[in-house]
Structure 1
Amino acid sequence: MSSVTDYSPREELANRLSHGLGLVFGILGLILLLNKGWEQGTQALISYSLYGGSLVLLYLASTLYHSMAEGAARRWCKVFDHCAIYLLIAGTYTPFLLVALDTPLAQGLMVVIWGLALAGVVFKLLFINRFKKLSLFTYLMLGWLSLVVIYQLYIHLEGEGLLLLGLGGLIYSLGVIFYVAKRIPYNHAIWHLFVLGGSVCHFMAIYGYVA
């Protein structure tokens, strides 16, 4: 994300409100999934907790970052914000791989995804303001590694669930266009709306067709 001077006060307000709404959505989604997890057993409960917790964490980090004045607190919230993206990507995979599939290939991919996500967190802690293009590439690459298990997902998920999963990934990816288009007014808030849209699609896929 950028420094506070890159956004007008109205743009920063839009940034806060858009992901503040996402925070409310994330909390409600976590509660709903935990209720289902209690009924399905330990593995499902842990999977939904990781996913729902990472969803809340992302929107909390972003909302805090865009609420802070320039200074040390904002800089740390920026780190928190960027790290949370890696955690949400891995968290979103978890119910699909460990609940919907739970095959050797899915379990192996789960280890790879979380390993790469944690490596991404360390990378951001060390190089928050450097290698921005590389960071963007790793976000997209991690997200589309789901193609490794696309055939298994096709078999185990209903058509609507698979459609929501793919649509969510597409919305996230298209949002990157606005993330990098700094000259478009409110580009960052528009990016936030794409993130929210992708999150809603993936939540609907998990709650409706995995849980």
Structure 2
Amino acid sequence: MRAWAQRWSTAIYALCLVAMLAASTVYNLTHPCAARPVLRRLDEAAIFLMIAGSYTPFTAVRFEGAWSVGFTLAVWTMAIVGAGVKMLAPRLSDAFWSVIYVLFGWVAVFALKPMIETVHPLALGLLVAGGLIYTTGVFVFISQKVKFRRAIWHGFVVTGAGVHWAAVLIGVVLVQA
């Protein structure tokens, strides 16, 4: 059962990572056109999927019982609601959504005990480091004073994604708990 959960949860993680990066690439490389507002919403909605996708290998493979099912369902419910609102709601500020993304990303604090008990310390450290990288990037992104803030923000995204990829590799794929 654990091997099956490892396979499907890491596949979900990989699909969410590719979806987020692809949506961002398509949006940022598209010249102004009628589809651009929809592409922007898809780009930003994919962030919710990436956050939930990053949790999934750990909640599905490392957590047990009610924590596994409950936390996985909770993060995916939040992701689906967030992505749906992002697609359908009127345009809200980047700062508003950035705060929502950061809060959603750090929802793991509510599962700190099972994370400490079940996730390899190196993987846990990488998860925290990746979260701090993403969070720092958000502050750069919402700052109106930083020149090239969007480009710098995307550097933080790629770095955070790489660190979280290493956390999944070490904490779910390589380390057998």
Select the residue among 107, 128, 137 that pairs with 1:145.
Answer: 107
CA distance in 2, matches of 1:208, 1:158: 8
| Map of 1:107 onto structure 2 | 69
CA distance in 1, matches of 2:65, 2:137: 32
Select the residue among 49, 68, 91 that pairs with 2:30.
Answer: 68
Matches within 5 A, 1:24-63: 41-63=3-25
Q: Which amino acid aligns with 1:189?
A: A
Task: Point out where structure 1 has 5 or more consecutive residues left out of the alignment.
Answer: 1-39
| Map of 1:117 onto structure 2 | 79
Q: Which amino acid aligns with 1:115?
A: T
CA distance in 2, matches of 1:55, 1:204: 13
Shift of residue 151, structure 1, vs aligned partner: 1.7
Is the contact between residue 106 and residue 149 of structure 1 (CA under 8 Å) also seen in structure 2?
Answer: no
Shift of residue 128, structure 1, vs aligned partner: 5.3
| Map of 2:130 onto structure 1 | 168
CA distance in 2, matches of 1:155, 1:102: 11
| Map of 1:18 onto structure 2 | none
Shift of residue 106, structure 1, vs aligned partner: 3.1
Q: Does 1:134 align with 2:96?
A: yes
Select the residue among 41, 48, 54 that pairs with 1:92.
Answer: 54
* 4+ runs deviating over 6 angstroms: none
What percentage of aligned pairs have identical amino acids?
30
Shift of residue 137, structure 1, vs aligned partner: 2.1
Is the contact between residue 6 and residue 172 of structure 2 (CA under 8 Å) also seen in structure 1?
Answer: no
3-state DSSP of counterpart to 1:167: helix
1:136-168 CA deviation, whole Å, 9 max, x = no partner? 222111111111121211122222111101001
Shift of residue 131, structure 1, vs aligned partner: 4.7
3-state DSSP of counterpart to 2:161: helix
Shift of residue 67, structure 1, vs aligned partner: 0.6
Task: Point out where structure 2 has 5 or more consecutive residues left out of the alignment.
Answer: none
3-state DSSP of counterpart to 2:130: helix
RMSD, aligned CA: 1.7
CA distance in 2, matches of 1:137, 1:182: 16
Is the contact between residue 61 and residue 81 of structure 1 (CA under 8 Å) also seen in structure 2?
Answer: yes
Matched residues, number: 173
